[in-house]
Structures are given as structure tokens and as C-alpha cells.
Amino acid sequence: MGIRSTPKSPSTGGGTHPSSTCHIPVLVGDFGGVPYHFLSGTVNYINSATSDWEENSRATVQEADVCVFVIVEQIGRITWETEVTEALLAGKPFLVLCLDKTYQRYLTLNSTFPPPADLSVLPEQERSLIATLREIEEERRLTAVAYSPGIFRNVLRRELSKLFDIALGQLEDRNRRRATVPLLTDPARLTMTDLRVAQAIAVDEWEDKRLRKAALRALAARGTLDEDALLSLLASTEQGVQRMTVELLGDLHAARPVDPALFEHVVAVANASDDVGIPRRLVPVLLDMNLPAAIDALEMLDMEDSGSKRRLADALETHEAAIAREGLQAAAAHLLEKCLSNTSESDWKTRCRAYLARLGFGPAAAGTA
């Protein structure tokens, strides 16, 4: 385990560290790690005709498992313009520690010169301090932890321990998921705890899509999925997961009667999607779940796609007896008329013909040639 630490001192520009930060290499060693300490020279570097401090810093951040950035009194340019950005892009866990008197100075300056006050009247050091801590706390929503020199080691130990606690929690969660995956093919064996893990797998956008689909099938077989998870899955950026959620909607949302607001939401999702597979799958599913509510909701469905029109007509015919029994003939007829309509302004063929005419190559133009 490597821990990258970068303290910055005002009078030396980072050349001589305050006594508090000399605890970093010792404490990292106590955790069983290898310190990459800027001021001790234990960082990655290459001396050559093209040497570059920024490249050295990026290489060290990439090598580290955890980064610790320490603000003593002034802001180091490479730290905040290169290293923090590299850590964020690489997904590295990192801490930001700030000397308490420096943080208090920032709070005072920030209240005295609230945005959009002109900071040009301040010395460069003060401007840099305000700009950097505003970026940390207000723009990037990161947390800077204040420390006093006498307790720096204790604060660093506490904050590193929090990261280790989070990491162990992630490992525990991973182990639970891996133990649950083999059970997904036999949903009847899943306990309530297993079902919660399956739901976590299904909604995780970073999880393998094959596992997410397996979890979805298991949840559908058991008819259990909470509403927030369902809405999350309907908005999934993974096309296959979103499609499967729509296909299994009737099983995933087992509560009856169905809230009409859910149907309206799903239709809105279909209208906003560029994937024609969503409305095509949605039409028969909604009609099977609740015929009257589905017919009302499908009035709002965009009918640009011929495949969706065909599926709607087929599904309505399948439910012909139920439509007659429940007195829904007029509403069903209106939907069928939409299926047969080719005059919608959004119809791509209509727009294509209009564009062709504007170019002077329409039927009329051809007849006069």
C-alpha cells in the first residue's frame, strides 16, 4: 500500500515541512504502508533533459493507494492544479487536511469577500487560498479537515482509519454479493437478506450487466422490488438492463392496483428514450398490468415508431374481450386511430418529404423538370 502526501509551507513553497507533517511517514509505516512523501524525496521521479515536476506528481498519484494533501499556510500550484485533479480522475481515495488557523483565515476572508466580490485587492497568497478552498468545498463538495499542530498525527490517524473502515465495508459488500450470485438461478432459495443484496446488484450501474440481469430475473420471480429501486432501474444507462426492467415490470412491481402515476412515469421514460425497444416492450406489459389505466397512459405515448404502433394494435386486439367487458371501446378506438395515422408532424417520412421539397427535389419539382 502506498500513501502519497503533499504538505505545503508558505515561507519555503514546500521546501521545508512544518514539524507536524513529519509524522506522515511514521504513521503510514504504522499502518503497514509505504509513504511517498514529497518533502522526504520518496516520490516517483525521472531526471532527464525533459524532466517535469507535474509528470512526476501524476506518476506518484497513480502509484499511490491513498493521497493526503496538507494545507499549512499557502496553496501549492502543482498540488491543486495537477495532483488533486489526477486523484479525482483516477478515483483515488484522498484526504485534505488544513491547518486550523489557515482555515479560520479562509473563513474570515470568505465572509469579508463573499462572491462575487473582487479579490484583486488581496495579496496573491490570500486570493489563492480563497479560490482553492472555495473550489474544494463549494464547487467540488469535498471536505477539508482542520487540524492543530499538536494533534496532527491523531487527526491523520483518525481520518485514515475512516478510509480503511469504508474500504472494509466495500470488501464485505463485495463478499456478500459474490455469495448471493450463485443463488440467483434459484430464486426460491433467496432469503430476505439475499433479496436485498440482489436489489443492490441490480441497481449498481458499475456492476457487470450479466449479474444485474440475473438479479432482475430473480427479483421478478419473487415479486419484490422497492419503488426507488424500480425508478432507478427504469432510468438505467445500461440499455439491456433498462429493457429488461420494462419487460419484467409487471412482476417487479407486484402491488395491485397499480398507481396510475407509475404508468405515466414509465410512458414519460419511453418518450424520452432514443431506444425504440423501450416503447415496443412497454405497450403489452402495461395492458397486461391494468387495462383501463394502461389505455389512459398510452394516450401520452409518442407514436413515431411503426413498430410501437403495430405492437399496440396487436395488444389491443388481444384484449378485445376485456375492452368490451369494461366498456373501453371508445378509448381503444382512439388509440387504434393513432396507430393508423401517418399525418403526425413528428412522422419522419412527412418531415423527409418536406425537406426534399425544400431542396427542390420533391414530386412537384420532378414533374416540371
Average pLDDT over residues 40-68: 81
- Please tell me the predicted confidence (pLDDT) of residue 367: 52
Query: Cell for 207?
Result: 456492476
In this predicted structure, the answer to whether residue 100 has a pLDDT above a threshold of 80 is: yes
For CA atoms 246, 252, 256, 258, the dihedral sign is negative
- Please tell me the predicted confidence (pLDDT) of residue 308: 92
Average pLDDT over residues 176-193: 96
Q: With cut-offs at 50, 70 and 90, classify the pLDDT of residue 209.
A: very high
Give me the chain's average pLDDT, please: 86
Average pLDDT over residues 30-50: 73
Closest CA to 144 of 64, 89, 54, 80: 80
Check residue 184 and report its DSSP letter. G
Query: Cell for 226?
Result: 422497492
194 or 29: which leads in pLDDT: 194
Closest CA to 234 of 281, 187, 194: 281
Q: Mind listing the pLDDT tens digit for each residue in 234-279?
A: 999 999 999 999 999 999 998 888 899 999 999 999 999 999 999 9
pTM for this predicted structure: 0.71
Average pLDDT over residues 211-232: 96
Strand ordering across the sheet containing 34-37: 34-37, 2-8, 66-71, 94-99, 144-147
In this predicted structure, the answer to whether residue 32 has a pLDDT above a threshold of 80 is: no
User: What is the three-class DSSP state of 67?
Assistant: strand
Q: Mind listing the pLDDT tens digit for each residue in 285-336?
A: 999 999 999 999 999 999 888 899 999 999 999 999 999 999 999 999 999 9
Cell 432469503 -> residue: 191
Check residue 364 and report its DSSP letter. H
Average pLDDT over residues 208-233: 96
In this predicted structure, the answer to whether residue 280 has a pLDDT above a threshold of 80 is: yes
Residue 337 near residue 303 (C-beta atoms within 8 A): no
Report CA Rg, the chain.
Answer: 30
Give the contacts of 186 (CB within 8 A, at least 6 positions apart): none
Dist. CA 297–CA 302, nearest whole Å? 11
Name the β-bridge partners of 95.
Answer: 68
- Please tell me the predicted confidence (pLDDT) of residue 49: 79
Query: Cell for 104?
Result: 479560520
- Please tell me the predicted confidence (pLDDT) of residue 182: 96
| CATH fold for the domain made of 2-147 | Rossmann fold (3.40.50)
- Please tell me the predicted confidence (pLDDT) of residue 212: 98
Q: State the chain's maximal CA–CA distance in angstroms.
A: 92
Residues 252, 257, 261, 265, Cα dihedral to 10°: 30
Cell 488557523 -> residue: 101
Average pLDDT over residues 200-227: 96
Q: Could you tell me where in the chain the CATH 3.40.50 domains are found?
A: 2-147
Q: Could you tell me where in the chain the CATH 1.25.10 domains are found?
A: 189-356
- Please tell me the predicted confidence (pLDDT) of residue 52: 82
Residue 56 near residue 45 (C-beta atoms within 8 A): yes
Q: What is the CATH number of domain 189-356?
A: 1.25.10
- Please tell me the predicted confidence (pLDDT) of residue 345: 46
Cell 472555495 -> residue: 134
Q: Mind listing the pLDDT tens digit for each residue in 136-164?
A: 898 889 999 999 988 998 999 999 999 99
Dist. CA 131–CA 106, nearest whole Å? 10
